Chain A
Amino acid sequence: MLVGALLPWASTVLPGGAYPDRATLQFFDAPHLVSGFRLHLVLLGVLAALLSRARKPAGIGVAVIALVHMGFLIGLGAPSIGGPVALAGGLLLMWPGLTAPAPELKPPGPAVARLVLLVAFAALVWLVSETLTAGGQSRATNPYGGAEFLAFCGLVLALACALSAYGVLAWLAALTDRHRFFAFSVMLVCALALPFTDAGTGYWMTVASTIGVYAATAIGLNIVVGLAGLLDLGYVAFLGIGAFTAANLAHVVPFPVAALAGTATAGILGIVVGAPTLRVRGDYLAIVTLAFGEIFFRAAQNNIGGLTGGANSIPGIPPISMFGHAFDKPLGVLPAGSLYYAVTVVMVAVAMVMLVNLRHSRTGRAWAAIREDEDVARAMGVRTGRAKILAFLVGSMMAGLAGAVFAHKLGTVGYESFDFSESVTLLAAVVLGGMGTVPGAVVGASLLFVLPEKLREFSDYRLMLFGLALILIMRFRPRGLVSS
């Protein structure tokens, strides 16, 4: 075990031999500099050496980083010595498989609890900002951006596993649950503070607000799929309906009215789609919703009714403008796009509150009962038809609102943003994150919409990697990353 703990250290010393000039990863270009990969490995080595419970998580992290590093070097046509050594070290660390259950930590007093939550959420935002900016904006500025990002993810994964091994994550979850209102406020404030971190540039704000739009949509889908158990494969159509409605009204009415109209239109169409599907369940429901998504997509593509612009899309949608300030311009010290980011944060927060409040209500229990056993739910007096339509209504309204923000933010709305693969990605976000849980949809949406942004060099393999990630999650965390 001690050898295992030391191996990652060894790997930081080993490389430095005759590598081609191309291999200028930080791992090699400065043999004695402790940064990038090297810093991560050193940190994990220290972690493994000092804390016995954290050995396995550290091993996972080392293995991931080593794999990433090796993969990139092989991609560059260079052999790697440090990589295999680090991989061996990581695997050795994982070997003993410490199975001791995580210790139960006692909840502290309210004052301490609040302080802890404050620190925890601040740290989380910092981590999000670091994760977002890890590896730079794109391949153009940093050819190893993808590798650096993945390696950083490895470090984050290891840290999360280590915290979980010490029972800290469960403890924090319990604290959040106990001080729900406080935790929620702190989270909101911390999330709104993201523009003040390293991620506070126009580019990252745009990325973050796009994620926000998809996160809100994913929460809406989570109501339909996660709470009520209605598998909807055409859900992205409602995002499209909201977006096209707002786009058509953008020059006529101010944003709040356009957003309301988008929400209402999507809601009405949600009922229209929901009503005829009441008689079908499970697989059949999935097929019907899939067909609806396709109908919407084809109708938008062919510009039926002249409402979607067809292949030309609808360009020139004005940005949201309030109090005489256009939302796409910087505001004071805040970079451009911060206001859109704030709008999406508030939208996601509202969606979260809705999801939680509905879940703990008569309606939410009726949905859960339908999900678990529809016949019995009916026998217990639940009006199943009405409840299912309500789920479709609430879910599609959420997507419609997100769509309206989406249209104003992008300035252009085209049908190709709403194809089947987007529905699948949203569904994958819900399943990956954890069905029916609040943070689940947000975590899932963030991952699935950040990763393609970060890993442009892998864009050809995107769907394959998705599949792989889904299989891994289903194997190791069958109830999602954030299970209830």
Chain B
Amino acid sequence: MTLTAERVSMTFGGLVALDDVTLAVPGNRITGLIGPNGAGKTTLFNCLTGLYAPTSGRILLDGRPLAADPAQAMRGGVARTFQNIRLFPGMSALDNVLVGRHTRIKQGLLAALLHGPGFRKSEAAATERARAELEFVGLGPEGHMPARSLAYGDQRRLEIARALAGDPAVLMLDEPTAGMNGTETADISALITAIRDRGIAVVVIEHDTKFIFSLCDHVYVLVRGRMLVDGPPATVRTDPRVIEAYLGATECSK
């Protein structure tokens, strides 16, 4: 399964957030998306997951256009996490994951009211799957805990488990290691590789270039709304334009 953005532009009033961006996410690969702050990375994510309708251009999932409707994107197999953790804080970890599975559960309202055998079967299957995802990200024993009382790193993992529960073909991670130390970053790195090994394409936004270059199969560099360079990590790392964009930006901010 491939997710592609075809010449996508997005403007908010007079502000051009994305300008003619084209990107392809092949299955079974880890794709990195880097760029300075305000480059439009999260806006691109929002377009790819159906939260925003691009001003022009198309989002295609396996060649079929994807409507600007997150429910349809989830059903189609595009799931995501958020830059600043956005769990359902008052719900248990398990219920958070079950909400991630929302589009895959078939239950009528009447069945939900009466709790018949069919309902119980579907509920048991969903719960089993949700538990398996919690186990997968390393939160097996934490299922009953309210999401808000989990440790910071565990909350990041829970967000990933919630996204995985929707049976995604493409998993989009918005800064999964923000605010983590070296050990935790390495753990997340291993987790992302394990997700790829399940046959799920992963897209990662990160500021930590070392993390991106060691993890990704292909890297896109977005600067001020435009796709500057893309290619394998080794080429991108040494590209003079990337170095200028990054170091230049760093110099300016000093």
Contacts and interface: CB of A to CB of B under 8 A. Distances in A.
B91 A369 contact: yes
A164 interface: no
B98 A365 contact: yes
A302 interface: no
A390 B102 contact: no
Nearest to B105: A362
A368 B87 CA distance: 12
A377 interface: yes
Interface stretch (B110-118, B198-206, B238-246): B110-118
Given A380-B99, A380-B100, A382-B102, A358 B88 contact: no
Given A376-B86, A380-B162, A365 B71 contact: no
Interface string B95-126: 10011101101010101111100010001001
Contacts of B119: 361
A232 B90 CA distance: 21
Interface stretch (B20-28, B74-82, B131-139, B228-236): B74-82
Interface residues of A, number: 25
Contacts of A390: 109
A371 B89 CA distance: 10
A358 B166 CA distance: 21
A417 interface: no
Interface in A344-360: 354, 357-358, 360
B82 A383 contact: no
A220 to B, nearest CB: 14
A369 B88 contact: yes
A248 interface: no
Given A357-B114, A361-B119, A373-B88, A382 B107 contact: no
Contacts of A361: 107, 111-112, 115, 119, 123
B88 A364 contact: no
Contact of A364 (B51, B90, B100, B112): B112
Given A381-B75, A390-B109, A357 B115 contact: yes
A378 interface: yes
Nearest to A229: B90
B177 interface: no
B70 interface: yes
B114 A380 contact: no
Nearest to B163: A380
B103 A363 contact: no
Contacts of A177: none
Contacts of B115: 357, 361
Given A373-B88, A380-B74, A362 B107 contact: yes
B91 A380 contact: no
B89 A381 contact: no
B112 A357 contact: yes
Interface string A107-140: 0000000000000000000000000000000000
Residue among A364, A371, A375, A376 with the most chain B CB within 10 A?
Answer: A376
Nearest to A382: B102
Contact of B88 (A357, A363, A372): A372
A371 B95 CA distance: 13
Contact of B112 (A362, A376, A377, A380): A362
Interface in A235-249: none
Given A354-B113, A357-B114, A372-B90, A365 B102 contact: yes
B80 A379 contact: yes
Q: A358, A364, A365 — which one has the most chain B CB atoms within 10 A of its CB?
A: A365
Nearest to A386: B71
B166 A380 contact: yes
Nearest to B50: A379
A264 to B, nearest CB: 15
Contacts of A383: 71
B109 A380 contact: no
Contacts of A360: 123
A372 B89 contact: yes
A366 B95 CA distance: 10
B4 to A, nearest CB: 20
B98 to A, nearest CB: 6
B169 to A, nearest CB: 14
Interface string B56-69: 00000000000000
A371 B49 CA distance: 22
Contact of A381 (B102, B109, B111): B102
Contacts of B109: 363, 390
A382 B70 CA distance: 8
A381 B107 contact: no
Contact of A377 (B75, B99, B114): B99
A383 B88 CA distance: 16
B216 to A, nearest CB: 24
A111 to B, nearest CB: 26
A390 B98 CA distance: 20
Interface in B125-176: 126, 162, 166
Nearest to A381: B74
Which 8 A-B pairs give the minimum distances between C-beta atoms?
A381-B74, A361-B112, A372-B88, A381-B103, A381-B71, A369-B99, A362-B107, A362-B105
7 contacts: A354-B113, A361-B119, A366-B102, A372-B91, A373-B87, A381-B70, A381-B73
Given A361-B119, A368-B99, 8 more contacts: A357-B114, A361-B115, A364-B112, A365-B91, A376-B88, A378-B71, A380-B162, A382-B71
Interface of B: 49, 51, 70-71, 73-75, 80, 82, 86-91, 95, 98-100, 102-103, 105, 107, 109, 111-115, 119, 123, 126, 162, 166
